[in-house]
Amino acid sequence: MALIGYMEGTDPDLLSSLCAQGNDTAPLGNGTDGHGKYIAHVTKSDGFDVIIAYLHKLISVSGMEHVSIDDRLFACRRHDIPVILVVPDKFKEQAKGRMKESRDYVELASPEELEDKVTDIIDV
Protein backbone atom coordinates (compact mmCIF):
# COMPACT_ATOMS: atom_id res chain seq x y z
CA MET A 1 0.00 0.00 0.00
CA ALA A 2 1.32 3.44 -0.96
CA LEU A 3 0.58 6.92 0.31
CA ILE A 4 -0.05 9.37 -2.52
CA GLY A 5 0.07 13.08 -1.82
CA TYR A 6 -2.02 15.20 -4.13
CA MET A 7 -2.78 18.84 -4.69
CA GLU A 8 -6.23 20.32 -5.14
CA GLY A 9 -7.63 19.70 -8.60
CA THR A 10 -6.32 16.16 -8.90
CA ASP A 11 -8.83 14.04 -10.79
CA PRO A 12 -11.12 12.39 -8.21
CA ASP A 13 -11.61 9.40 -10.50
CA LEU A 14 -7.84 8.85 -10.49
CA LEU A 15 -7.68 9.15 -6.70
CA SER A 16 -10.63 6.77 -6.30
CA SER A 17 -9.01 4.29 -8.65
CA LEU A 18 -5.77 4.40 -6.68
CA CYS A 19 -7.66 3.97 -3.39
CA ALA A 20 -9.65 1.04 -4.80
CA GLN A 21 -6.30 -0.60 -5.57
CA GLY A 22 -5.42 -0.40 -1.86
CA ASN A 23 -3.54 2.90 -1.69
CA ASP A 24 -4.11 5.91 0.55
CA THR A 25 -4.20 9.57 -0.41
CA ALA A 26 -3.52 12.76 1.51
CA PRO A 27 -4.12 16.38 0.41
CA LEU A 28 -1.30 18.88 0.04
CA GLY A 29 -1.47 22.64 -0.42
CA ASN A 30 0.58 25.36 -2.04
CA GLY A 31 0.69 27.65 0.98
CA THR A 32 -2.24 29.80 -0.08
CA ASP A 33 -5.08 27.43 -0.97
CA GLY A 34 -5.55 25.87 2.47
CA HIS A 35 -6.04 22.47 0.83
CA GLY A 36 -3.79 20.38 3.07
CA LYS A 37 -0.29 20.23 4.48
CA TYR A 38 1.96 22.78 2.76
CA ILE A 39 4.01 20.89 0.17
CA ALA A 40 7.17 22.76 1.22
CA HIS A 41 6.83 21.24 4.72
CA VAL A 42 6.62 17.54 3.85
CA THR A 43 9.14 15.25 5.51
CA LYS A 44 10.24 11.66 5.12
CA SER A 45 8.20 10.78 8.22
CA ASP A 46 4.99 11.76 6.38
CA GLY A 47 5.45 8.55 4.41
CA PHE A 48 4.61 9.84 0.93
CA ASP A 49 5.56 7.41 -1.83
CA VAL A 50 4.76 9.93 -4.57
CA ILE A 51 3.25 13.39 -4.88
CA ILE A 52 0.99 14.57 -7.70
CA ALA A 53 1.13 18.30 -8.39
CA TYR A 54 -0.25 20.53 -11.10
CA LEU A 55 1.93 23.28 -12.54
CA HIS A 56 -0.61 26.01 -11.80
CA LYS A 57 -0.62 25.03 -8.09
CA LEU A 58 3.14 25.59 -7.84
CA ILE A 59 3.38 28.90 -9.70
CA SER A 60 3.71 31.84 -7.33
CA VAL A 61 0.58 33.82 -6.76
CA SER A 62 0.04 37.44 -5.87
CA GLY A 63 1.65 38.16 -2.53
CA MET A 64 4.00 35.16 -2.78
CA GLU A 65 6.02 36.11 -5.87
CA HIS A 66 9.25 35.39 -4.01
CA VAL A 67 8.34 31.69 -3.60
CA SER A 68 9.41 29.69 -6.65
CA ILE A 69 8.46 26.22 -7.84
CA ASP A 70 11.90 25.12 -6.66
CA ASP A 71 11.21 26.56 -3.20
CA ARG A 72 7.92 24.69 -2.96
CA LEU A 73 9.52 21.41 -4.05
CA PHE A 74 12.70 21.73 -1.97
CA ALA A 75 11.43 19.42 0.79
CA CYS A 76 10.45 16.78 -1.76
CA ARG A 77 13.91 16.89 -3.30
CA ARG A 78 15.59 16.93 0.14
CA HIS A 79 13.66 13.87 1.33
CA ASP A 80 13.75 12.09 -2.04
CA ILE A 81 9.98 12.01 -2.48
CA PRO A 82 9.07 11.52 -6.15
CA VAL A 83 6.98 14.30 -7.69
CA ILE A 84 4.86 13.98 -10.81
CA LEU A 85 4.01 17.36 -12.30
CA VAL A 86 0.89 17.28 -14.47
CA VAL A 87 1.27 19.31 -17.66
CA PRO A 88 -0.21 18.80 -21.15
CA ASP A 89 2.34 17.28 -23.56
CA LYS A 90 2.64 20.39 -25.70
CA PHE A 91 3.69 22.51 -22.68
CA LYS A 92 6.18 20.19 -20.98
CA GLU A 93 9.28 22.03 -22.18
CA GLN A 94 7.81 25.38 -21.16
CA ALA A 95 7.02 23.93 -17.73
CA LYS A 96 10.63 22.80 -17.32
CA GLY A 97 11.70 26.32 -18.21
CA ARG A 98 9.86 27.62 -15.13
CA MET A 99 12.16 25.58 -12.84
CA LYS A 100 15.85 25.43 -12.04
CA GLU A 101 16.77 22.89 -9.34
CA SER A 102 13.58 20.86 -9.82
CA ARG A 103 13.81 20.66 -13.61
CA ASP A 104 15.53 17.27 -13.64
CA TYR A 105 13.90 16.02 -10.43
CA VAL A 106 10.21 16.10 -11.29
CA GLU A 107 8.62 13.74 -13.73
CA LEU A 108 6.26 15.44 -16.15
CA ALA A 109 3.07 13.65 -17.14
CA SER A 110 0.10 14.56 -19.26
CA PRO A 111 -3.30 13.96 -17.65
CA GLU A 112 -3.76 10.92 -19.92
CA GLU A 113 -0.56 9.22 -18.74
CA LEU A 114 -0.79 10.20 -15.06
CA GLU A 115 -2.19 6.97 -13.62
CA ASP A 116 0.44 4.87 -15.40
CA LYS A 117 3.22 7.14 -14.10
CA VAL A 118 1.89 6.91 -10.54
CA THR A 119 1.57 3.12 -10.64
CA ASP A 120 5.05 2.79 -12.16
CA ILE A 121 6.44 4.52 -9.06
CA ILE A 122 4.33 2.87 -6.37
CA ASP A 123 4.43 -0.66 -7.79
CA VAL A 124 8.20 -0.94 -7.39
**Would you identify the CATH topology of the domain 3-122?**
Rossmann fold (3.40.50)
Residue 41: name the closest of 5, 15, 9 by CA: 5
| Amino acid (1-letter code) at residue 83 | V
Give pLDDT, residue 32: 82
Q: What angle do CA 6, 34, 37 make, to 5 degrees?
A: 50
Per-residue pLDDT for 63 more than 90?
Answer: no
- pLDDT more than 70, % of the chain: 96
Residue 73: name the closest of 34, 108, 24 by CA: 108
Per-residue pLDDT for 7 more than 80?
Answer: yes
The mean of the pLDDT values for the chain is 92
The structural domains of the chain, with segments of one domain joined by +, span 3-122
Residues 74, 41: Cα–Cα separation, whole Å: 9
